[in-house]
Each structure stands twice: as structure tokens, then as C-alpha cells.
């Protein structure tokens, strides 16, 4: 049976995404195991203490906690399933436009934003070394607070499961799986 490993089951977004995978015939698990086809990290939300404005300085403890939570924790979970992934070998992470160098208008949450920027770089390096082994990657911004969680989960499911190999009959040779993109719940590409 095809398996999707979701790292979080709490919340409307996570529950709806799990439902969509089940409807598509996937076994959904919340613990690492061998033979995972989809790894979906659902780490989200602000880190306590990471709410200072630009002129107030950065809370070093909150920034460290953000890095542990957003980078270290999810990558440790991925490491447990990575060598034994099968099928699409699709690695999916939640993203945030607040951590985009080009789009961010954030005035707070610098620890989380810096941690996400670091995560994107790590995923880029991993993608560059593992594409040849069949691994593919997705980054998705659920637009928390702006998009209904269930609609955002529906959009995430489509983005996570759809291949991006070609643009149709006019461009059959294009392989877009080599690009690491961030898409939001409206389907927009977010530069990072």
C-alpha cells in the first residue's frame, strides 16, 4: 500500500490533508516507517517570544527554539524515512511568505523567518544532490489566517501529489521537477 507520513495530526489543515490522502488510497501514518512515498512536514505556528519588532532586537532564545523546531526537528524525522522512501519519494514542507526575502512584509517573527530561510537552503542542497535518485520536493504556504484551512489543505494535496514534468504538447521535454518552488493556497509561486 502507498504510504504518506504526516508529521502532525492536530488541526483542521492536517486532518483535511490526511483525509485527502486516504481518499486517494494512501495509508496515512504519523510515525516514521519504511516504504513512505510522501513525507509531509506540517510544522507551523509562531514560536513563543519571537514577536519583537525590528527595533527591539532579536530574542536569541526564541531564535534558537525556532531553529530547533522548524529545522532540526523536521529534518530528524525526515532522516528516519529518507533512505527507505519509495514511489514518488516526495518531500513536502510547509513554508511561509514571511520568510521570503522578496515578498516578506513581516515586522516580527525574525527567528522563525530565519529558520525557514535556512531550511529552504538545506532543502535546495538536498534536492541538488538527490534528484538523480528520484526524490522530488514541494514547499507550500497555507496562508494561515487568510485561507480557510480545509481549502488550503485541498490545494496542498493537489500541489503535493501532482507531477510537474511538462507544460503539455507544446513543450514535452521540459522537466520542472528540478526546481524548488514555494506555492501558496491560491497556487501563486512565492519567490524565496
Contact status, residue 6 vs residue 30, Cβ threshold 8 Å: yes
90 grid coordinates: 516526495
Tell me the three-class secondary structure of 110-163, residue by residue: HHHHHHHHHHHHHHHHHHHHHHHHCCEEEEEECCCCCCCHHHHHHHHHHHHHCC
> For every one of its 192 residues, what pLDDT tens digit does the chain have, with 9 covering 90 and above?
899 999 999 999 999 999 999 999 999 999 999 999 999 999 977 788 888 776 787 788 988 999 999 999 999 999 999 999 999 999 999 988 766 555 556 677 777 888 888 998 999 999 999 989 999 999 999 987 677 999 999 999 999 999 876 555 565 555 567 788 888 898 888 877
d(CA 10, CA 42): 10
d(CA 106, CA 78): 28
The domain that holds 159 is classified in CATH as: 3.40.50.720
DSSP structure string for 68-108? IIIIIHHHHHHHHHGGG--TT-EEEEE--GGG-TTT---SS
91 grid coordinates: 518531500
Number of domains, the chain = 1
d(CA 62, CA 51): 9
User: 91: domain range?
Assistant: 3-190
Contact status, residue 117 vs residue 93, Cβ threshold 8 Å: no
Contact status, residue 190 vs residue 103, Cβ threshold 8 Å: yes
Amino acid at each position: 500500500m502507498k504510504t504518506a507520513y504526516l508529521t502532525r495530526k492536530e488541526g483542521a489543515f492536517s486532518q483535511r490533508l490526511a483525509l485527502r490522502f486516504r481518499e486517494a488510497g494512501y495509508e496515512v501514518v504519523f510515525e516514521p516507517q519504511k516504504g513512505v512515498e510522501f513525507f509531509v512536514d506540517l510544522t507551523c505556528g509562531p514560536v513563543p517570544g519571537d514577536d519583537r519588532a525590528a527595533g527591539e532586537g532579536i530574542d536569541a532564545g526564541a531564535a534558537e527554539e525556532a531553529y530547533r523546531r522548524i529545522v532540526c526537528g523536521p529534518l530528524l524525522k525526515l532522516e528516519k524515512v529518507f533512505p527507505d522512501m519509495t514511489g514518488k519519494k516526495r518531500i513536502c514542507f510547509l513554508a511561509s511568505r514571511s520568510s521570503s526575502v522578496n515578498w516578506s512584509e513581516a515586522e516580527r517573527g525574525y527567528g522563525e523567518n530565519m529558520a525557514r530561510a535556512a531550511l529552504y537552503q538545506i532543502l535546495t542542497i538536498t534536492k541538488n544532490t538527490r534528484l538523480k535518485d528520484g526524490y522530488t520536493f514541494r514547499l507550500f504556504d497555507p496562508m494561515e489566517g487568510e485561507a480557510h484551512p480545509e481549502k488550503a489543505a485541498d490545494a496542498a494535496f493537489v500541489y503535493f501529489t501532482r507531477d510537474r514534468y511538462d507544460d503539455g504538447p507544446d513543450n514535452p521535454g521540459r522537466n520542472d521537477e528540478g526546481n524548488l518552488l514555494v506555492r501558496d493556497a491560491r497556487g501563486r509561486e512565492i519567490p524565496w
